[in-house]
Amino acid sequence: MNPENLKSGDTDELEALFDSIADQRAWDAPVAAPAQVQQEAPVELSAQCEEPHDVFHRVGSLTRKLHDALRELGYDKSVETAVNSLPDARARLNYIASLTGQAAEKVLATVEVSQKLNDTVADEARALDKQWDRLHNNELSLEEFKELARQNREFVQKMAGHTSEMGGHLTSIMMAQDFHDLTGQVVNRIANMAQGLEEQLVQLLLDTTPPDQRKQVEETWLNGPTINAEGRSDVCANQTQVDDLLESLGF
């Protein structure tokens, strides 16, 4: 891969692409004869939409070139490993969604039961209070008063059970918060994996930087933390450096 050719090829290609899109007025314009479009390789696009087959072939050919280049550079294995960790990351994310969902459901259900219990206690207390009002208004007979006293006693005794039950629900709600720990550990693992993947790709980018842009990259490095003073221009130490590097390369 000759960096010089690549550079000029890219600029012409991009310009041609832009022009072709700017010239297009309607996306449903009739498609040009397939043979004609293919012959205009490497890049000059006609004003019409490309055939799907043609696009497919070009993507396929680019993918092959990329694959071969990676293999030549010795990256295919490490990129493969990085990419293979993605399904694992997906599974882990599903686990997090499922665990947090379960915790939420459990808490909501417990809250509903607790509120019912709370409402029951409130209703009973209100009913008793009404009776006590009647007593104060001298509206109760002796028998009714004895009944009220009995009911009140019963209520007080039930409170022990009610408060214990409510306490249990509160404990249950508290325990349901353990999802934070379990999902947090998984999140850390995914974050590390994403960082690893990013490192692989940035490393690849650094190693394939064309010579004329390499100086720019090195200058970006020297503005970084002391770790670079040891002369390593091939390592990114943190997110800011990664962003600087990408920006300096025009991304």
Partner 1 sequence: MNPEDLRILIVDDFSTMRRIVRNLLKEIGYNNADEAEDGAIALAKLKAGNFNFVVSDLNMPNMNGFELLQSIRADADLKHLPVLLVTAEAKKEDIVTAAQMGANGYIVKPFTKATLEEKLGKIVAKMSV
Nearer to partner 1, 64 or 180 (CB): 180
Per-residue binder mask for partner 1 (CB under 8 A), 132-171, x = binder: ---------------------------------------x
Residue in 28, 157, 164, 181 binding partner 1, rule: CB under 8 A = 181
Would you count residue 185 as binding partner 1 (CB under 8 A)? yes
Residue in 121, 135, 148, 182 binding partner 1, rule: CB under 8 A = 182
Token duo for residue 231:
């002369």
Region near partner 1 per CB under 8 A, out of 6-14, 47-55, 180-188, 211-219: 180-188
Long-range CB contact pairs, 118-123, < 8 A, 24+: 118/166, 121/159, 121/162
Token duo for residue 117:
């219990």
Q: Minimum distance between the CB of residue 223 and partner 1, rounded to whole angstroms?
A: 30
Check: CB of residue 196 under 8 Å from CB of residue 141.
no
Q: Using CA atoms, how far apart are residues 93 and 99, in angstroms rounded to an integer?
A: 10
Nearer to partner 1, 58 or 189 (CB): 189
Nearer to partner 1, 34 or 167 (CB): 167
Q: Using CA atoms, how far apart are residues 120 and 155, in angstroms rounded to an integer?
A: 11
Check: CB of residue 90 under 8 Å from CB of residue 174.
no
Residue in 61, 63, 81, 177 binding partner 1, rule: CB under 8 A = 177
Would you count residue 28 as binding partner 1 (CB under 8 A)? no
Per DSSP, helices labelled H in 44-141 are 52-73, 76-136
Nearer to partner 1, 169 or 221 (CB): 169
- Report DSSP letters for 198-240, one per residue: HHHHHHHHHHT--HHHHHHHHHHHHTS-GGGGGS--S---SHH
In the complex, the residues that contact partner 1 under the rule CB under 8 A are 171, 174-175, 177-178, 180-182, 184-185
